[in-house]
């Protein structure tokens, strides 16, 4: 079955994307706004996070309570996320509530009230989120690793720093955030049981007269990289490693995804098998692929008790490097089936599809049908993977460790 995809680029720079799914009664929206954490001014790190909190404290004619009540009454299952490039807003609900939700999002995106009275709690909540990270070492470890791995400020943690949050005022944040209220490069994707033409007509009504400047490019500095150890009297040592791979737009993307699946997808994957199943060193070990527009990384995490930490670090690093010796035909076949099957499973969810449409458009400026992805994967050979791993060797890692004792990490950089 081929998908029913739709694209409409509005003259103001906003792109509308759609996928019609006939089996469902829900409809999901994803909106990507180029106002993510990498766009926070250095002295206002955390601005995007505070701005999102503040936005939900009143927009258009509605104050905090009226806005939340309106979303709740429409059954909106909504979620906001501050990424590197984008602020993303996602909301899933019954299809019949889609248009009123779209109107609420027009207020949220275009007409936040950003009143002085609601600024302090918005900022204080972000400060508390930052403080709460100290009680979640595994999450903190992954966030800080991303910061060290990507060219600064592309991987910057969205929570900011205590001093930048404390220095922020309603006036400074409003002035900054208002400059980012623009339809340029905004992506709005919808998936579900929709009537596309009617949806476009509604979207044009609420967004068509929105105008604003193009977002400025983000200047970047070299990544910090290296090894960072943070002392904490935790029960486990939290070990996180990052190394480079190709971004979504790269012609070798499918090859890279297959390699990553062999390494870390499923309980028969190299890492899970060796580190957990054979040696019993961890409960959690895994690798996540993450891509920005031009840079991507493989982010590996393992959590273990202090007495096993050195061995866990060495074995994990060893398995990642051993991949370069090549993969078997069985592993290739398994990885292809796993990726294809997970695509079909995501294809049943309107939220997952709305997110995938928006992501495709951002990375590729087009929407990939399932059959194109399947064909791309099917074409990958054992030799392709071997060549790819030779060209992109896991030679140098960025390392972040949180725990009671330092490890010998000298092996992170290959001699």
Partner 1 sequence: MQFRHDQLDNGLTLLAEVNPSAATMAVGLFVNTGARDETPREAGMSHFLEHMVFKGTPRRSAADVNREFDDMGANYNAFTSEESTVYYASVLPEFQDRVTDLLCDILRPSLREDDFTVEQQVILEEIALYEDQPSYRVYEKLMGEFFEGHGLANPVLGTNESISAMTPADMRDYFDRRYAPGNVLAVAVGNVDYDRFRRFVTDRCGTWQSRVAERRLLPAPGHVRQTVITDPRVLREHLGFMSPAPAAQGNDDYAAQLAATVLGDDSGSRLYYALIDPALADEANTTYSAMDRTGAFYTFVSTDPERTSEVIGIVRDELLRFRDEGPTEAELLAAKNKIASGATLKGEIPMGRLTAVGFDWAYRGEYVPLPEQIDRMFAVTREQVTEVVRRYDLTAAAVLGLGPCETL
Rounded to 5 degrees, what are φ and ψ at 147?
A: -65, -40
What's the order of all strands across the beta sheet hosting 187-192?
A: 4-9, 15-20, 187-192, 26-33, 87-94, 77-82
Rounded to 5 degrees, what are φ and ψ at 398?
A: -95, 130
**Closer Cβ to partner 1, 32 or 76, answer by number:** 76
Token reading at 328 = 């078997």
For residue 257, what is the enclosing H or E element? Answer: helix 253-264
**Closer Cβ to partner 1, 307 or 383, answer by number:** 307
What is the rounded CA–CA span in Å between residue 335 and residue 397?
24
**Closer Cβ to partner 1, 267 or 415, answer by number:** 267
The residue count for the chain: 415
The distance of closest approach from Cβ of residue 173 to partner 1 in the complex, given in angstroms and rounded to an integer, is: 15
The distance of closest approach from Cβ of residue 311 to partner 1 in the complex, given in angstroms and rounded to an integer, is: 12
DSSP 8-state class, residue 272: I
The distance of closest approach from Cβ of residue 245 to partner 1 in the complex, given in angstroms and rounded to an integer, is: 21
The distance of closest approach from Cβ of residue 241 to partner 1 in the complex, given in angstroms and rounded to an integer, is: 18
175: Cβ–Cβ under 8 A, 6 or more apart, which residues? none
The distance of closest approach from Cβ of residue 252 to partner 1 in the complex, given in angstroms and rounded to an integer, is: 22
**Closer Cβ to partner 1, 164 or 351, answer by number:** 351
**Closer Cβ to partner 1, 350 or 359, answer by number:** 350
**Closer Cβ to partner 1, 42 or 277, answer by number:** 277
94: Cβ–Cβ under 8 A, 6 or more apart, which residues? 25, 26, 27, 75
Token reading at 90 = 């996602």
The distance of closest approach from Cβ of residue 314 to partner 1 in the complex, given in angstroms and rounded to an integer, is: 17
The distance of closest approach from Cβ of residue 95 to partner 1 in the complex, given in angstroms and rounded to an integer, is: 10
**Closer Cβ to partner 1, 260 or 265, answer by number:** 265
**Closer Cβ to partner 1, 151 or 306, answer by number:** 306
293: how many CB neighbours lie within 10 A of its CB?
Answer: 13
What is the rounded CA–CA span in Å between residue 385 and residue 242?
19
Cβ–Cβ under 8 Å, residues 339 and 257: yes
The distance of closest approach from Cβ of residue 249 to partner 1 in the complex, given in angstroms and rounded to an integer, is: 25
* Torsion angle of C-alpha atoms 254, 255, 256, 259, degrees rounded to 10: 120
What is the rounded CA–CA span in Å between residue 242 and residue 244?
7
């Amino acid at each position: 079955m081929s998908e029913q995809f739709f694209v409409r680029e509005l003259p103001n720079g906003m792109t509308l994307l759609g996928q019609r799914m006939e089996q469902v009664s829900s409809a999901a929206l994803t909106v990507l706004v180029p106002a993510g954490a990498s766009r926070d001014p250095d002295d206002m790190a955390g601005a995007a996070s505070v701005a999102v909190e503040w936005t939900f404290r009143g927009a258009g004619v509605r104050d905090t309570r009226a806005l939340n009540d309106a979303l709740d009454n429409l059954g909106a299952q909504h979620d906001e996320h501050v990424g590197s490039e984008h602020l993303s807003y996602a909301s899933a609900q019954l299809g019949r509530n889609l248009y009123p939700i779209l109107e609420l999002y027009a207020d949220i995106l275009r007409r936040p009230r950003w009143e002085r009275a609601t600024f302090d709690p918005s900022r204080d909540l972000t400060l508390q989120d930052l403080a709460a990270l100290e009680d979640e070492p595994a999450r903190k470890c992954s966030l800080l690793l991303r910061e060290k791995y990507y060219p600064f400020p592309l991987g910057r943690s969205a929570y900011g720093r205590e001093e930048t949050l404390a220095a922020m005022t309603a006036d400074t944040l409003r002035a900054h955030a208002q400059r980012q209220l623009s339809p340029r490069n905004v992506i709005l994707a919808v998936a579900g049981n929709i009537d596309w033409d009617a949806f476009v007509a509604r979207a044009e009504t609420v967004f068509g007269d929105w105008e604003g400047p193009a977002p400025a490019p983000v200047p970047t500095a070299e990544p910090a990289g290296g090894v960072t150890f943070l002392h904490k009297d935790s029960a486990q040592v939290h070990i996180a490693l990052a190394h480079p791979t190709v971004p979504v737009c790269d012609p070798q993307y499918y090859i890279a995804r297959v390699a990553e699946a062999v390494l870390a997808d499923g309980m028969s994957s190299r890492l899970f098998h060796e580190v957990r199943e054979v040696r019993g060193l961890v409960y959690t070990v895994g690798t996540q692929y993450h891509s920005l527009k031009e840079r991507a990384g493989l982010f590996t995490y393992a959590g273990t008790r202090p007495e096993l930490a050195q061995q866990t670090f060495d074995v994990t690093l060893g398995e990642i490097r051993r991949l370069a010796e090549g993969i078997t035909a069985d592993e290739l076949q398994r990885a292809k089936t796993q990726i294809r099957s997970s695509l079909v499973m995501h294809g049943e969810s309107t939220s997952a599809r709305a997110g995938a449409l928006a992501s495709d458009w951002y990375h590729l400026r087009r929407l990939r049908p399932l059959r194109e992805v399947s064909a791309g994967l099917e074409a990958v050979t054992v030799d392709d993977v071997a060549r790819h791993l030779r060209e992109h060797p896991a030679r140098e890692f960025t390392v972040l460790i949180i725990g009671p004792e330092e490890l010998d990490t000298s092996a992170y950089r290959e001699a």
